[in-house]
Amino acid sequence: MHERTKEIYTPEGGPPQGGRPPTELLVAMGEPGVFALLSDFYKRLGTSELGDMFPKDPEALEEASKKSAAFFVQVLGGRPLFSTYVGPPRMRMRHFPFEIDASARLTWLFHFEETVDQSVSAGSFPSEHQASFVAFLHGFSAWMVNVDPALES
């Protein structure tokens, strides 16, 4: 993925509608669990096909994972960590510098789902919340796509 050179695509119907992730997940995992999950996820992303979108330096990649974890803590009903330290989430806008097509979205989802699967197996992610969390990720990631599917080659 490279920095944006094309017009930003917005789906005709606006953001995909979907449920929020279960707030019970944060209660079960705690903030440290969410931060560990996102740290593992970002390590995967950093070496994936999407690696060009992420910092190469391991410390910078870990800092990026902490921002994402702060967002997820907030979305899961926790403290407004992201808003306090970074500003309003506006995640779609924050991703505009990058061309995110359907393929990139599916790659992101694959790695997140794999990270969640491993966390369930390790006992650090409660399996009863896996399906609803993954459903949230599907809707959330659909809104991050900013390249018109009709123009993808």
Q: What is the pLDDT of residue 2?
A: 53
Instruction: Give me 125's structure tokens.
Output: 């992610």
Which pLDDT score is estimated for 60?
97
Q: What is the pLDDT of residue 57?
A: 97
Within a domain: 4: no
Amino acid at 116: V
- The answer to whether residue 8 sits within a structural domain is no
- Whichever domain contains 144, its CATH number is 1.10.490.10
pLDDT at 5: 62
The per-residue pLDDT for 4 is 53
Read off φ and ψ for residue 146, nearest 5 degrees. -130, 15
Question: How many domains are contained in the chain?
Answer: 1
**How far is residue 153's CA from residue 142's CA, in Å, rounded to a whole number?**
19
77 is a domain residue: yes
Tell me if 87 is assigned to some domain: yes
Q: Rounded to whole angstroms, what are the CA distances from 113 to 52, 57, 97? A: 20, 24, 25
**15 in any annotated domain:** no
Q: What pLDDT is recorded for position 13? A: 77
Segments forming the whole domain that contains residue 97: 23-151
Closest CA to 143 of 17, 8, 16, 1: 16
Q: What is the pLDDT along the chain (153 residues), one digit of tens a residue?
A: 455 566 888 877 777 777 789 999 999 999 999 999 999 999 999 999 999 999 999 999 999 999 999 999 999 999 999 999 999 999 999 999 999 999 999 999 999 999 999 999 999 999 999 999 999 999 999 999 999 887 765
**Rounded to an integer, what distance in angstroms lies between the CA atom of residue 102 and that of residue 36?**
27
